[in-house]
C-alpha cells in the first residue's frame, strides 16, 4: 500500500512545532504551497530530507524508500550534515574569534578615550 507522504509530512511538521510559514520561507515555498504539499500523496524525497533537517525529524522511519534512497543514492543519512561541514564549522569559529578580538579591541579603545 502506497503511503501518503503529504500526510506524513504534515504530521511531522505539526508535531515539531516549527511554524509552517517559517518553514515555507526556509525552503523557498509559499505558505499555501506547504499546505498543497500536505495534500499530495507523493512528495519529492530530497524535499523530505531537507524539511527533516530543518524540523529535526528523520523521515526514514516512516518512509522506508527514503532510507534506501539516502544510503544508496546520496551516500548520506538524514542526520549527516554532508561533506564540507567541518570546513564551514571551522570558518565560523574563526570568524567568531576574530569578532571577539575586534570587540575587545574596540572596548579597550573606548576605555582609553574615557580616561
Helix (H, G, I), strand (E, B) or coil at 91: helix
Q: What is the pLDDT of residues 63-79, one digit of tens each?
A: 887 765 444 444 444 45
- pLDDT band at residue 59 under the 50/70/90 scheme: confident
pLDDT of residue 61: 81
Secondary structure string (H, E, C) spanning 35-82: HHHHHCCCCCHHHHHHHHHHHCCCHHHCCHHHHHHHHHHHCCCCCCCC
Task: Report the CATH architecture of 1-80.
Answer: Orthogonal Bundle (1.10)
Q: What is the pLDDT of residues 82-115, one digit of tens each?
A: 556 677 777 888 888 999 999 999 999 998 888 7
For the question of whether the overall pTM of this predicted structure is more than 0.85, the answer is no
pLDDT of residue 72: 40
User: 27 and 54 in contact (C-beta within 8 Å)?
Assistant: yes
Q: What is the pLDDT of residues 18-46, one digit of tens each?
A: 999 999 999 999 999 999 999 999 988 88
Q: Where are the domains of the chain?
A: 1-80, 83-115
Amino acid at each position: 500500500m502506497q503511503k501518503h507522504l503529504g500526510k506524513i509530512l504534515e504530521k511531522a511538521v505539526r508535531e515539531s512545532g516549527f511554524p509552517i510559514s517559517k518553514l515555507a520561507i526556509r525552503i523557498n515555498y509559499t505558505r499555501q504551497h506547504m499546505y498543497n504539499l500536505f495534500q499530495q500523496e507523493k512528495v519529492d524525497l530530497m524535499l523530505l530530507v531537507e524539511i527533516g533537517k530543518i524540523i529535526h525529524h528523520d523521515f526514514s522511519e516512516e518512509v522506508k524508500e527514503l532510507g534506501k534512497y539516502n544510503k544508496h543514492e546520496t551516500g548520506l543519512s538524514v542526520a549527516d550534515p554532508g561533506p564540507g561541514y567541518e570546513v564551514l564549522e571551522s570558518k565560523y569559529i574563526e570568524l567568531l574569534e576574530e569578532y571577539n578580538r575586534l570587540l575587545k579591541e574596540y572596548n579597550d579603545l573606548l576605555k582609553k578615550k574615557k580616561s
